[in-house]
Amino acid sequence: MKIYTKRGDNGITDLPGGRRLWKNDVHIEALGDLDELVSIMGVVRALLPEGQTNLDEELRSVQVALVNISAALSGPRKDDCYDSTTSLETAIDGMEEGLPPLKSFILPGAQISASVTHVARAVCRRAERRLVALLEAKSETGEKVDEQPLAYLNRLSDYLFSLARHLNKLAGVADDDISL
């Protein structure tokens, strides 16, 4: 099977089940942002310090959850197709225990893996905003859309913030914090 079909050459793409949408439709935009988030999470994994197998496994689980969210948004949803926020909350709590209390804003840049994790957090927030727009558009048409992925993305951005701080700590680098 060839990777290209030429069906999208006119600006329209297919969803599973035969539904065709313009490539700039809010639905496709949401899926694209999730795809970008999965990709940047792969970069974060590639930049993890050697020996961080637990973090690598956590991040891979996040990638799988994001792919499952995309699949659920693309077609008929399977039950329990992605993680709840509980695993993210547990991971956040574990990382936060070893970090100094947050008293100011943090500037990305102290260390490469932490900086890229902040980029992933920004992409996650954009995907979350796009999902809100999709939910809003669907509610106007009366379609039901599961809101659980929205909570997951919200918690994931918190997780990525904590992870960036944790990665700085692992590297022996202080957060670049500023007071306003």
For the chain, what percent of residues have pLDDT higher than 70?
Answer: 94
* Overall average pLDDT of the 10-26 stretch: 81
Does residue 69 register a pLDDT over 70? yes
State the pLDDT at residue 130.
95
**CA distance linking residue 85 with residue 62, whole number of Å:** 10
The pLDDT mean for the chain works out to: 89
* Overall average pLDDT of the 126-137 stretch: 93
Beta carbons of 110 and 169 less than 8 angstroms apart: no
Q: For the domain 23-96+105-178, what is the CATH superfamily, name and number? A: Cobalamin adenosyltransferase-like (1.20.1200.10)
Return the higher-pLDDT residue of 178 and 78: 178
Domain ranges for the chain: 23-96+105-178
pLDDT per position as a tens digit, 86-113: 999 999 999 999 899 888 898 898 799 9
Q: What is the pTM of this model?
A: 0.89
**CA distance linking residue 145 with residue 148, whole number of Å:** 9
Q: How far apart are the first and last CA of the chain?
A: 56
